[in-house]
Amino acid sequence: MPTTSAPHVRPGARRARGPVAVVVAALLVLAGCTPDDGPSGAPSSPTPSTSATSTSPSLTATLATPGPAAVVLPAATAESAALEASQTVFAQAPVVALAAADDPAAQAVAATTATTVGAPLLLTGPAVPPPVLLDELDRLGTRWVLAHGAADLAVPAGVTVLHPDAAPSPAPTAASTPAPTPTQTPTPTPASLPRAARPEPVEGTVALTGVGAAPVAALATIAAAGIPVVDVPGGDPRATSAGVQALAAHHPAHVVAVGAAFGDPALLASRVATASSGQLAPGGGQLVFPQVPGLPGKRYFALYGTPGLPALGVLGEQDVPATVARAQAHADAFRTLTGDTVVPAVEIIATVASAAPEPDGSYSRAIPVETLRPLVEAAGAAGLAVVLDLQPGRTDFLTQAQQYSDLLALPYVGLALDPEWRLAPDQVHLRQIGSVGVDEINAVAAWLADLTRQRGLPQKMFVVHQFSLRMVDGRERLDTSHDELAVVIHVDGQGTQPAKAGTWATLRAGAPPVHWGWKNFYDEDQPMLDPAQTYAVQPVPDLVTYQ
C-alpha cells in the first residue's frame, strides 16, 4: 500500500471509564467464552469464509477459516497479538479500529467499537512498524479507520480516518469556515460512517486463551469475528472438565490459540481432538496427573489383586460391590492429607504368573476379558481408575497387552507391566526374578499411545513395576515422550521400612522423568505405613497401592 501524504490519526479527547479487566471479561462474554474450573507457527494465509452475508456488503467484513487445524499466535506484545489475530480470522475488513499499544484506556474503547461493528482492532506501537500496519490495511481492503486515543498512523489516499471518541467541535459559521481547496481533505465526522453490519460467524472455529495475560486487542478481534472462546488453564485443553466439555460442545475443526505457551500447533491439534471427544478420566479432565498452577492435581489409591482369587491380593477377598466400596474407603483415608483430587483405583492382575507351563508354554494364565469386565465396568461407573497388570511369563508384554485392547479402549483403564514375572526362555517363576529390556516396554508404550490417540481417549496411566534396578535393562532409555500416556515407576519393595526407603532412593536415583508409585503390603511390611506415614514419603507418591 502506498504511504502518500494524508491525514494522521490524532489523539482523542475522551478516555475509557472502566478498567481493562472489565473489558476483557466483556469481550470473553461477547466471544462466547467458556469459564473453566480451573514454539508456534506463524498464521497461514486464511481461507475466506463463504458464509458471510449482509444487507450492507460494502461495509461488512469477510471472515477467514484458518488453514491448519491449530494456529498458535505467539502474542509476544499487545500490538503483535492484535496483528496476528487480524491476519488469522479476517480475510477482508472495510472498517478497522485502531488504538495505541501504550494506551490501555483507548484500547478498551476501541475494543467496544471493534466488537460493535465487527471489525479487527489493530494497535500502533514499536513491535509493529507503520509499514506493516499499512500492509495489513491493504490486505484487508480497509477504507475506514476508527481511531481512538493517541494512535498515530499516516494512511494513504482513499482511506478515511474517523475519531469516534473525539469531542464535537462547535458548529462552524459561513464566515469562519473557508471553502476547502482542491488539495485539502475535509476531516470526516463519526456520522460520516455508513452503517456497518457484523459478519456472519465462521462455523467450526474456536479460540483458546488461558496461558497468560489476555491481550485486549486480540480478544476484541476474535469477539468481533463471533468466534467462541474457551479458557484453557495451563495450555492443555485436556486439563479440566470444563475445557473438555466446552470443546466437546463446539467440536471445532480449527482452533486459534493466543499465547506461545500453547506450544506446537500439531500437538495442540491432537489434544483438541481428544478433548472434543468429551470423554472424562477419573477425577475429571483427561489428564492422569494435571499440573496446572492454581488447580488441584490428582493422587491415586488402589487395591491390588485379581477378582475371585484371594491368594493374589485384596481384590479377591470380596465381591465386586464390596471391592469398589473398599477401594473408596482406602482412598477416603487420604482426603484430609492433600489438597489434590483423590482418585480411588483398582489394579487388576489380568495375566497371572503360574508355577507350571500353560498350554502355550508361557507360564502365564490370562484371565478372560469377560471375567474381568464386571469389576472393570463397576469400578468405572463408580468413578474409580482401573489399571490392568500383566505378568507375562515367557511370552512378551505387547502380545498380552493386545489381548485386552477392548478393556484398554475404555476411558478409565490404564496398563501396568510387571517385569518381575517376565521370564527368559529357560527361567521359571520363583526360581529367578524376571526382567525385561526397555525396548519391549517402549514398544508397548508406543502401541498403547497409538490406541489412545486413535480412539480419542483420555490420557492413560502406564505403570512399570520395579524393586530392583536389574529388572529393567536400559531404563535410562525409557520413552516418556508420549503425550497420550502418564508414565509411573511403581516401587514394589517390601519388608522393613528402612529397607523400603532404601529401595525407593535407589530406584529414584538417575531415573527418567516419571511419576512415582509406592506399595503398602498388609502382611510383608514391618510395619505397614498408615495413611499419614505413607503421605510423609518424599516425594509424595502419585500412586499408592495396597497388596
Query: For the residues of 162-218, what is the DSSP string, one character each?
Result: E-TTSPPPPPP-TTT-PPPPTT--PPP-GGGSPP-PPPPPPTTEEEEE-SSS--HHH
Contact predicate 110/74, CB 8 Å: no
Which DSSP letter does residue 309 get? Answer: B
Q: Which amino acid is at 217?
A: A
Distance CA 159, CA 522 (A): 80
User: What angle is formed at CA 32 by the lines to CA 64 and CA 267, rounded to 5 degrees?
Assistant: 60
The residue count of the chain comes to 547
Distance CA 435, CA 505 (A): 20
Cell of 123: 494497535
* pLDDT value at residue 430: 75
* pLDDT value at residue 387: 98
* pLDDT value at residue 167: 53
Per-position pLDDT tens, the chain of length 547: 433 333 333 333 333 334 444 444 555 445 555 444 433 333 444 444 433 333 444 689 999 999 899 999 998 999 999 999 999 999 999 999 999 999 999 999 999 999 999 999 999 999 999 999 999 999 999 999 999 987 888 898 899 998 887 655 444 443 433 444 333 333 333 445 656 678 888 889 999 999 887 899 999 999 999 999 999 999 999 999 999 999 999 999 999 999 999 999 999 999 999 999 999 999 999 999 999 989 999 999 999 999 988 988 899 999 999 999 999 999 999 999 999 999 999 999 999 999 888 888 889 999 999 999 999 999 999 999 999 999 999 999 999 999 999 999 999 999 999 999 999 888 888 788 889 999 999 999 999 999 999 999 999 999 999 999 999 999 999 999 999 999 999 999 899 999 999 999 999 999 999 999 999 999 999 999 999 999 999 999 999 999 9
* pLDDT value at residue 414: 98
Element (H, E) at 506: helix 497-508
Contact predicate 122/107, CB 8 Å: no
Which 3 state secondary structure label does DSSP give 236? coil
Q: Which amino acid is at 391?
A: Q
* pLDDT value at residue 198: 81
Contact predicate 243/272, CB 8 Å: no
Distance CA 415, CA 437 (A): 18
Would you give the end-to-end CA distance of the chain in angstroms? 74
Strand partners, 62: 92
Cell of 535: 503421605
Give the dihedral sign, CA 193/198/199/205.
positive
Cell of 311: 491368594
**Other Cβ atoms within 10 Å of 476 Cβ, number:** 9
**Other Cβ atoms within 10 Å of 63 Cβ, number:** 27
Which DSSP letter does residue 496 get? Answer: B
Distance CA 433, CA 492 (A): 13
Strand partners, 256: 71, 207
Distance CA 64, CA 50 (A): 9
Which 3 state secondary structure label does DSSP give 340? coil
Report the half-sphere exposure of 458 (CA within 13 A, side-chain side): 27
* pLDDT value at residue 375: 97
Residue that has been written with the C-alpha cell 491439534 in this structure: 269
Distance CA 173, CA 186 (A): 16
Which DSSP letter does residue 3 get? Answer: -
Which residue in 468, 469, 448 sits closest to 459, CA to CA? 448
Assign 3-class secondary structure to 90-155.
Answer: EEECCEEEEEECCCHHHHHHHHHHHHHHCCCEEEEECCECHHHHHHHHHHHCCCEEEECCCCCCEC
Distance CA 412, CA 279 (A): 9
Q: Which amino acid is at 83?
A: L
Question: Cα 409 to chain center, whole Å?
Answer: 21
Residue that has been written with the C-alpha cell 514419603 in this structure: 537
* pLDDT value at residue 58: 65
Left (φ > 0), alpha (ψ -120 to 50) or beta: where does 88 sit? Answer: alpha
